[in-house]
């Protein structure tokens, strides 16, 4: 890794390119989960059905929360790039808080559905819904842990502009998780 | 002669004790690890095959019972596909890609090590099943609902689905790593069109892995949820369908067969020019047809499902796609023939296996084209005709191509030459053996013999060809034995290999055999798709009439400027062990899963915070050839 | 993955990129966020307006596609980055979309015979 190593063939940093490559792969992962949900829609032999149980107002709020977390993310990156360390901490904390809020909403929703009689085993809707949104939630969780780690490092004084790439790559992951939710919200909740 | 004495080179590159292997992040060592592991599992999968053939040699045989037989063919297929063919290709692309593109390592050295260890633990988990009540027994493609808890209550399928998921993660990590490496780390002047064909095919393979493995992961997750948590993804009574599994499996499975053959296509595309002493014929066409095969490969998966009643429109669409994909394949074959045609052919073992690959793949491709027609496939599906087809393409194609690569690059990797005599004997035994084994299976299929049956009645008319096939299998085994003998002899006392024993054209031959730890003393500037021929012979196309200094590398012995290499690390191994423990924990209990998760997370965090180069990392420079 | 040397070098590369490809301003980010919020409101409104029912599917698909594009182009910076990244992303997205559509057709969720499109 000597002086000539920083030149990359496409002029894009390794980790940034790696995250985009990973995101392309994740399109197939979530695509398969979504395709199964759509293929099995309407095939459950017993209820509850999506129409009976999905709560559009609540989910709209959590969709909004996740979208705003993406704004917070991009403002955090901007602050890091400009070496505005105070702002960077605030916006990064914003991502953690808003992401946590989204997860709380998911936990509430899962619990509520459970009490209304929808479990993994109840019917195909339960299976496909919980697995799809559950994996999405797991991805959000990983993202929240990642952002929290970055936040801790910021407080330890180790995130100047030379570290912007770390934040950018984390941001790409976060935005992608948001984008997947946009698709899920439309296909699962709004189009029934 | 400027190449360093191979004994010292081998020792310094591969020596250092067990800890140095457990913590290595050097792509060359990772490649050797994959290769050794794969060659071990090749014996395991081969023994499974021999027992199968012994059982089927005569009608109504009682060598093994039905249950054991089901485990044998399941493990034979799973082992050969995931524990032999893929890791052998991984061994080669790990070792060679950085050398071929003029890089010192891959983009993410520790992630690379993680891929290997994760693969290893996954492979062990799969084989542990033999000792815990039975290996998986539902075929390498595990069709639902034979794999359901109801019809398969033992633990074999659980081992199968867990180990495949673990190995899938290893493959996806390597997919990210090598895609970035190939796109981003090429030496100055090495445009994409100047990359060796093996690198091109590796790039296509990585993209296929990245896009296909997530789909089977989802399919396996559904199976896991059905078996562990009582969901009904594949249960008809609840409205689900086993056909969903078939779709998810084959959306992965068809690209998977291209993942398996493209590396061999790449190897042959680089081997043939060297021994024909002329450039690859129609090089851009070979590249673009590889890309076409990769892309089209996603559009043909349901040709494995013609007998499931999808309807005439779906059948037609997938048949059309399958016929289409024969075109780029044919393009490659004609270009390979065109490469040899008119060349001053040098008859060495790598060439034999390369030609073997092309010819056997033609036969496999022809039976494949027959399958592409749904009405024809309705007779051939699930018969021995398919077994013939898949072995011609997997064994005749992939395995022979991989051996062409093994014989070709062995000198570079080990610093020793293999015996030509034993190599050619290996080739002929393999060639004769495989045709004796698998050609009769076309007849057996046409005569109605189904796949996956543990025995057959005496009066079916299948006795003769089954016996012939079994004899052929042992001829193959004898050939393989010769290879292992050749390998051991070569390592112990083979003649030292020069840097460039074959007078080849690509960058991996420009330094000593084996390479120094830093690969290139000076990062080369590339002006051609055949940089070494350009360096040795100038811009002519025909190398047959020039003399050259025997085995001269174009790299200096010692680097003129300081080179820093990444430090070894324990954390990829720890993280991989975490994955293995999690997988095992799924079969033992939640506390073990949590323990595994803890190890994984700890490993990942320690890895993330560990600098790539720590005090005491390997340093090379002009003052010493190996400074630490 | 913390890699001090290469991340410094990579950051140099990133700064070079910004010089070439331009950069969104903070104002742009806020604007995009407002548009995203408005579209979300529209989507929810559309869901509750009976008159739109006949065309609700294309409407919602279009609205969410716009949101998708805005996040990818601006928040994920793809508009200003080197085209290779767009190529990488589109490669995965296109193949995934085609396969989702194919599976939906094969399972009768869309196409002739379904109750939908």
**Interchain contact, B566 vs A10, CB within 8 Å:** no
**Interchain contact, B184 vs A3, CB within 8 Å:** no
DSSP B487: H
Expressed in percent and rounded to 5, the helix, strand and coil fractions of chain C are 80, 0, 20
Chain B residue numbers touching A127 (CB-CB < 8 A): 225, 231-233, 240
How many angstroms separate the first and last alpha carbons of chain B? 27
**Interchain contact, B611 vs C103, CB within 8 Å:** no
Distance from CA of B398 to the nearest CA of C (A): 26
Nearest to A23 by CA among C72, C89, B203, B216: C89
- Chain C residues with CB-CB distance to B under 8 A? 1-6, 84, 91-92, 95-96, 98-99, 103, 105-107
DSSP B418: P
Chain A residue numbers touching C82 (CB-CB < 8 A): 10-12
**Interchain contact, B108 vs A33, CB within 8 Å:** no
pTM, two decimal places: 0.95
Chain C residue numbers touching B181 (CB-CB < 8 A): none
Find the mean pLDDT for residues B179-188: 97
Instruction: Please write the tens of the pLDDT for every residue from B378-413.
Output: 999 999 999 999 999 999 999 999 999 999 999 999
- Cis, bond preceding B20 (omega within 30 deg of 0): no
Q: How many CB atoms lie within 10 A of CB B459?
A: 8
Higher pLDDT, C23 or B591: B591
Interface check for C80 against chain A (CB to CB < 8 A): the answer is no
Q: What is the pLDDT of residue A1?
A: 33
Residue B216 and residue B168 in contact, taking contact as beta carbons nearer than 8 Å: yes
Q: Which residue in B108, B314, B608 is closest to C106 by CB distance?
A: B314
**Interchain contact, A75 vs C26, CB within 8 Å:** yes
Distance from CA of C32 to the nearest CA of B (A): 30
Neighbours of chain C (3+ CB pairs under 8 A): A, B
Phi, psi angle pair for B619, to nearest 5°: -130, 135
Phi, psi angle pair for A7, to nearest 5°: -75, 120
Q: Count how many pairs of residues, chain A against chain C, have C-beta atoms within 8 Å.
A: 170
Q: What is the pLDDT of residue B2?
A: 39
Q: Which residue in C8, C9, C33 is closest to A68 by CB distance?
A: C33
Interface check for C11 against chain A (CB to CB < 8 A): the answer is yes
Distance from CA of B231 to the nearest CA of A (A): 5
Q: What is the pLDDT of residue C5?
A: 34
**Interchain contact, C40 vs A63, CB within 8 Å:** yes
Q: What percent of chain A has pLDDT over 70?
A: 96
Rounded Cα–Cα distance for residues B103 and B515 (Å): 12
Range in A3-17, A104-118, B273-287 the model is least confident about: A3-17
pLDDT at position C17 over 70 = no
Distance from CA of A98 to the nearest CA of C (A): 14
Q: Which residue in C8, C43, C84 is closest to A12 by CB distance?
A: C84
Range in B3-17, B509-523, C95-109 the model is least confident about: B3-17
Q: Which helix (H) or strand (E) holds B64?
A: none
**Interchain contact, A28 vs C9, CB within 8 Å:** no
**Interchain contact, A39 vs C64, CB within 8 Å:** no
Q: What is the mean pLDDT of chain A?
A: 93
pLDDT at position A107 over 90 = yes
Nearest to C3 by CA among B175, B108, A92: B108
Q: Which residue in C5, C84, C106 is closest to B612 by CB distance?
A: C5
Higher pLDDT, B5 or B157: B157
Instruction: Please write the tens of the pLDDT for every residue from C57-100.
Output: 999 999 999 999 999 999 999 999 999 999 999 999 999 999 99
Interface check for C13 against chain A (CB to CB < 8 A): the answer is yes
Instruction: Please write the tens of the pLDDT for every residue from B511-533.
Output: 999 999 999 999 999 999 999 99
**Interchain contact, A165 vs C7, CB within 8 Å:** yes
Interface check for B612 against chain C (CB to CB < 8 A): the answer is yes
- Which ranges of B283-419 would DSSP assign to H, the alpha helix? 283-296, 312-340, 349-371, 374-380, 384-391, 400-414
- Judge if ipTM > 0.90: yes
**Residue B233: Cβ-neighbour burial (10 angstroms; 0-12, 13-18, 19+):** buried
Chain C residue numbers touching B299 (CB-CB < 8 A): 98
Distance from CA of C3 to the nearest CA of B (A): 5
Q: What is the pLDDT of residue A192?
A: 79
Q: What is the pLDDT of residue C19?
A: 41
Q: What is the mean pLDDT of chain B?
A: 94
Rounded Cα–Cα distance for residues C115 and B266 (Å): 47
Which are the contacts of A130, defined by CB distance < 8 A and separation ≥ 6?
Answer: A110, A119, A120
* B10: confidence class by pLDDT, cuts 50, 70, 90: low
Distance from CA of B253 to the nearest CA of A (A): 14
Distance from CA of C91 to the nearest CA of B (A): 9
pLDDT at position A41 over 50 = yes
Transcribe B269-296 into DSSP letters. HHHHHHHHTSPPTTHHHHHHHHHHHHHH
Residue B419 Cα to chain centre, angstroms: 24
Higher pLDDT, C23 or A36: A36
Find the mean pLDDT for residues B296-312: 96
3-state secondary structure chain A: CCHHHHCCCCCCCHHHHHHHHHHHHHHHHHHHHHHHHHHHCCCCCCCCCHHHHCCHHHHHHHHHHHHHHHHHHHHHHHHHHCCCHHHHHHHHHHHHHHHHHHHHHHHHHHHHHHHCCCCCCCCHHHHHHHHHHHHHHHHHHHHHHHHHHHHHHHHCCCCCHHHHHHHHHHHHHHHHHHHHHHHHHHHHHHCC
């Amino acid at each position: 890794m000597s002086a000539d190593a920083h030149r990359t063939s496409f002029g894009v940093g390794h980790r940034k390119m790696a995250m985009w490559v990973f995101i392309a792969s994740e399109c197939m992962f979530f695509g398969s989960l979504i395709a199964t949900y759509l293929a099995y829609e309407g095939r459950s032999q017993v209820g509850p059905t999506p129409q009976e149980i999905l709560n559009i107002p609540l989910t709209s709020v959590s969709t909004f929360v996740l979208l705003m977390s993406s704004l917070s993310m991009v403002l955090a990156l901007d602050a890091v790039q400009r070496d505005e360390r105070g702002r960077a901490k605030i916006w990064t904390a914003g991502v953690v808080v808003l992401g946590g809020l989204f997860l709380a909403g998911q936990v509430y929703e899962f619990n509520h559905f459970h009490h209304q009689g929808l479990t993994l085993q109840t019917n195909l809707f339960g299976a496909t819904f919980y697995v799809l949104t559950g994996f999405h939630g797991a991805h959000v969780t990983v993202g929240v842990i990642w952002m929290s780690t970055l936040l801790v490092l910021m407080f330890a004084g180790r995130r100047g502009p030379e570290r912007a790439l770390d934040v950018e790559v984390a941001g790409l992951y976060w935005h992608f998780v948001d984008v997947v939710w946009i698709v899920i919200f439309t296909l699962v909740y709004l189009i029934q | 002669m400027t190449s360093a004495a191979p004994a010292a080179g081998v020792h310094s590159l591969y020596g250092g004790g067990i800890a140095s292997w457990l913590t290595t992040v050097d792509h060359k060592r990772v490649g050797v690890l994959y290769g050794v592991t794969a060659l071990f599992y090749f014996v395991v999968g081969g023994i499974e095959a021999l027992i199968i053939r012994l059982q089927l040699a005569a009608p109504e045989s009682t060598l093994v019972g039905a249950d054991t037989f089901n485990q044998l063919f399941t493990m034979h297929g799973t082992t050969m596909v995931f524990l032999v063919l893929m890791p052998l290709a991984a061994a080669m692309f790990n070792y060679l890609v950085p050398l071929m593109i003029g890089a010192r390592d891959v983009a993410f050295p520790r992630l690379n090590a993680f891929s290997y260890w994760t693969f290893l633990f996954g492979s062990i988990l799969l084989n542990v099943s033999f000792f815990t009540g039975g290996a998986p027994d539902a075929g390498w493609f595990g069709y639902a609902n034979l794999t359901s808890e109801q019809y398969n209550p033992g633990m074999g399928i659980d081992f199968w689905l867990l180990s495949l998921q673990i190995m899938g993660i290893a493959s996806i990590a390597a997919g990210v790593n090598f895609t970035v490496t190939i796109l981003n780390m090429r030496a100055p002047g090495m445009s994409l069109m100047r990359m060796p064909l093996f690198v091109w095919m590796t790039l296509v393979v990585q993209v296929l892995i990245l896009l296909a493995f997530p789909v089977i992961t989802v399919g396996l997750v559904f199976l896991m949820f059905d078996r562990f948590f009582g969901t009904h993804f594949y249960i008809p009574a609840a409205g689900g369908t086993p056909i969903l599994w078939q779709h998810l499996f084959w959306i992965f499975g068809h690209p998977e067969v291209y993942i398996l053959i493209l590396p061999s296509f790449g190897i042959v595309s680089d081997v043939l020019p060297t021994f024909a002493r002329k450039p690859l014929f129609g090089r851009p066409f070979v590249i673009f047809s590889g890309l076409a095969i990769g892309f089209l490969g996603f559009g043909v998966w349901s040709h494995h499902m013609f007998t499931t009643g999808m309807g005439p429109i779906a059948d037609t669409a997938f048949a059309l796609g399958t016929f289409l994909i024969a075109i780029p394949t044919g393009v490659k074959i004609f270009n390979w023939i065109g490469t040899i045609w008119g060349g001053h052919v040098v008859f060495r073992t790598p060439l034999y296996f390369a030609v073997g690959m092309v010819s056997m793949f033609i036969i496999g491709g022809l039976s494949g084209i027959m399958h592409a027609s749904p009405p024809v496939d309705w007779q051939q599906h699930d018969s021995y005709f398919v077994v013939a087809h898949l072995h011609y393409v997997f064994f005749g194609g992939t395995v022979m191509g991989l051996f062409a690569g093994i014989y070709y690059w062995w000198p570079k990797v080990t610093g020793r030459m293999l015996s030509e005599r034993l190599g050619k004997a290996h080739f002929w035994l393999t060639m004769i053996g495989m045709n004796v084994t698998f050609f009769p299976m076309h007849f057996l299929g046409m005569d109605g013999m189904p796949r996956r049956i543990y025995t057959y009645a005496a009066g079916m008319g299948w006795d003769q060809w089954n016996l012939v096939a079994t004899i052929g299998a042992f001829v193959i085994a004898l050939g393989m034995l010769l290879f292992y003998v050749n390998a051991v002899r070569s390592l112990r006392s083979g003649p030292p290999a020069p840097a460039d024993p074959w007078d080849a054209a690509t960058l991996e031959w420009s330094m000593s055999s084996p390479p120094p730890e830093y690969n290139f003393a000076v990062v080369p500037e590339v002006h051609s798709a055949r940089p070494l021929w350009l360096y040795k012979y100038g811009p002519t196309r025909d190398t047959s009439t020039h003399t050259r200094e025997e085995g001269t590398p174009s790299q200096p012995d010692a680097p003129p400027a300081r080179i820093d290499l990444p430090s070894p690390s324990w954390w990829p191994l720890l993280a991989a062990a975490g994955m293995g423990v999690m997988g095992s924990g799924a079969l033992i209990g939640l506390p073990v899963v949590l323990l595994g998760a803890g190890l994984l997370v700890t490993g990942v965090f320690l890895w993330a915070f560990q600098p790539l180069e720590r005090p005491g990392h390997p340093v090379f420079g002009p003052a010493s050839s190996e400074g630490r | 993955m913390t890699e001090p040397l290469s991340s410094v070098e990579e950051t140099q590369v990133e700064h070079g990129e910004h010089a070439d490809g331009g950069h969104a301003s903070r104002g742009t980010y806020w604007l995009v966020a407002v548009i995203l919020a408005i579209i979300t409101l529209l989507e929810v409104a559309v869901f509750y307006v009976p008159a739109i029912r006949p065309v609700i599917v294309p409407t919602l698909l279009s609205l969410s596609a716009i949101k998708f594009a805005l996040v990818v182009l601006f928040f994920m910076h793809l508009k200003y980055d080197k085209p290779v990244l767009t190529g990488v992303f589109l490669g995965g997205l296109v193949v995934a979309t085609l396969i989702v559509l194919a599976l939906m057709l094969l399972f009768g969720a869309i196409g002739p015979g379904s109750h939908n499109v």
